[in-house]
Amino acid sequence: MSNKKSAGNLNTALVILEKSIPLFAQSGYAGVSMRDISKVVGTSGAALYHHYPDKQGLYLAAMEHAFSDMALSIQSTLDIKGTPEERLVHFTTNFTDQMARSPELRILLQRELLDGDDERLKLLANLVFVKPFKVIKELARELGLDCDAHLLAISMAGLILFHFETESIRRYLPGGLKKHNDPKVIGKHVAKLLTGMLGK
């Protein structure tokens, strides 16, 4: 009994996903054609349809692949012991680092937030965010802050992500310097704001 079943050569199927992810990140679903994908993969367009039922199916598989990576990397930022304050700084600096290291994942996330339907968003939430979100909420509770833990967890993520989201425009804003794109600078800044907030 072979474990390479009807879905065809698994390796090719994977290569298609991994080569198409950067395209979808750069141009979005509507901005990428099956021909574009076949070109970067190095096959004919028809080959794509051997591995995936249609463009939507390929896209969905690509998102699942990309975001399962993201889930692992986010969880690694939360797998640590120490005082709540230490864990807060650890999460902040590590999450910032990861967002800087894989801009593609952040961009895909933002595109999904704009264009994803309910089903895809639910999948994304369960696949990537529910687990780390619970840890952050628990962290917020331990810090004994007098505010809604859900709102605080979202605020923490937004504080970090927005700096990357606006990277392309900040150089045209007053005081925009190269160092503001340095993940170390961003991480320190956010950690300072957050620890300042809970300092009182």
User: Is residue 49 within the footprint of DNA (CB under 7 A)?
Assistant: yes
Q: Which does 85 bind (CB under 5 to 8 A by kind): DNA, a second copy, none?
A: none
Alpha-carbon gap, residue 132 to 150, rounded angstroms: 12
User: Is residue 51 within the footprint of DNA (CB under 7 A)?
Assistant: yes
**Cβ atoms 159, 194 nearer than 8 A:** yes
Alpha-carbon gap, residue 152 to 109, rounded angstroms: 20
Upper half-sphere CA count for residue 128 (Cβ side, 13 Å): 21
User: Is residue 169 within the footprint of a second copy (CB under 8 A)?
Assistant: yes
Alpha-carbon gap, residue 45 to 116, rounded angstroms: 25
Near a second copy by CB under 8 A: residue from 133, 142, 144, 178: 133
Q: Which does 101 bind (CB under 5 to 8 A by kind): DNA, a second copy, none?
A: none
The sign of the CA dihedral 25, 79, 161, 171 is negative
* E-state strands within 106-174: none
Segment (H or E) for 94:
helix 84-101
User: Is residue 127 within the footprint of DNA (CB under 7 A)?
Assistant: no
* E-state strands within the chain: none
User: Is residue 8 within the footprint of DNA (CB under 7 A)?
Assistant: yes
- What does DSSP assign to residue 128? I
Q: Based on the number of CB atoms within 10 Å of its own CB, is 79 exposed (0-12), middle (13-18) or buried (19 or more)?
A: exposed
> How far from each other are the two terminal CA atoms of the chain, in whole angstroms?
64
User: Is residue 28 within the footprint of DNA (CB under 7 A)?
Assistant: no
Q: Which does 144 bind (CB under 5 to 8 A by kind): a second copy, DNA, none?
A: none
User: Is residue 144 within the footprint of a second copy (CB under 8 A)?
Assistant: no
Of residues 104-123, those binding a second copy (CB under 8 A): 107, 110-111, 113-116, 121-122
Near DNA by CB under 7 A: residue from 4, 178, 179, 200: 4
Q: Among the candidate windows 34-42, 82-90, 107-115, 122-130, which touches DNA by CB under 7 A?
A: 34-42
Interface positions with DNA (CB under 7 A): 4, 7-9, 12, 32-36, 42-47, 49-51, 53-56
Interface positions with a second copy (CB under 8 A): 27-31, 107, 110-111, 113-116, 121-122, 124-126, 129-130, 133-134, 137, 147-152, 154-155, 157-159, 161-163, 165-166, 168-170, 172-177, 180, 185-186, 189-190, 192-193, 196-200
